[in-house]
Structure formats: structure tokens, C-alpha cells
Amino acid sequence: MANIDELQNTHEAALAPVLAALAGKGSDSDWALVRALIHRAVHLCAERKAAEYCAVSTLLAEMIGHAHGLMHPGDRTASSHRQDVH
């Protein structure tokens, strides 16, 4: 049986063409798509009992750091990185 990382990679590959078709229609549309995906993912998890709450919240917290690194890769020693909002 495949492990979680392998299953995730398989799902991401299957989603790639759908996301490519939906993305790229402007920044508001792309942001709405991101919000919709996260919202639907949380509902899918709850409805299918795919994970415990703590696992979901931990994953979301990890994704915050991941998003920060992808979207704001600047100097990690900058004072703005020690503030809640920058």
C-alpha cells in the first residue's frame, strides 16, 4: 500500500490539469480558487473523517510557513520576520 506522501503526490498530479484550467483568470479569481480549495479540503476531511482535528490544524500551520517561504523568500533575519504581520 502507498504511504501518505505517495498518495498525496498521486492526488496532486490528478488535480494538476483541473487547477491549470481554473487558474490564471486574474489575481482575484486565483485567490478565490485557493480559498475554495482550502475550504473544500477541510469539509472533505471532516465529512470523510480523513484525519483528526489536530492533524488538520498541524498541516494548516505547516502550510503557513510553507506559503511564507514560497511567497516571501527574502532575508529571514529581517526584523519584519519577527513581527506577527509584515
84 has a pLDDT exceeding 70: no
Distance CA(83)–CA(85), nearest Å, equals 5
User: What does the domain layout of the chain look like in residue ranges?
Assistant: 9-72
pLDDT per residue as tens digits for the range 26-68: 999 999 999 999 999 999 999 999 999 999 999 999 999 888 8
SS (H, E, C) 15-79: HHHHHHHHCCCCHHHHHHHHHHHHHHHHHHHHHHCCCCHHHHHHHHHHHHHHHHHHHCCCCCCCH
Report the predicted TM-score, pTM, of the whole model to 2 decimal places.
Answer: 0.82
Distances 28 to 10, 14, 17, 25, 33 between C-alpha atoms, Å: 28, 24, 20, 8, 9
pLDDT at residue number 81: 65
